Amino acid sequence: MTDKSDGPDWIEDTKEELTGIAKQGMKHPGTKPLLTGAAIGAVGGAILPIVTWPIGLAAGAGYVLYSRLKK
């Protein structure tokens, strides 16, 4: 990831993180937490009456990705 003192370059950080996950697969340190967050979001979306599981999956994965990039 880039140095945070340069300013908020979250698009480049997100691109770098997702490219690493795509290239390294399960060997990348961000893959397992991202999949776990997606699974928890999907279950939550399936339980809630208005939200569907795909929306929950995307929200869970997005939250974990945001949490990883924020560090």
Supply the pLDDT for residue 3.
53
Supply the pLDDT for residue 6.
57
User: Which residue ranges in the chain fall short of pLDDT 70?
Assistant: 1-8
Q: Which long-range contacts (CB under 8 A, 24 or more apart) does 16-25 make?
A: 17/65, 17/68, 17/69, 18/65
Supply the pLDDT for residue 39.
95
Tell if the pTM clears 0.95, that is, is over it.
no
Supply the pLDDT for residue 40.
95
CA distance 35 to 26: 10
Supply the pLDDT for residue 10.
85
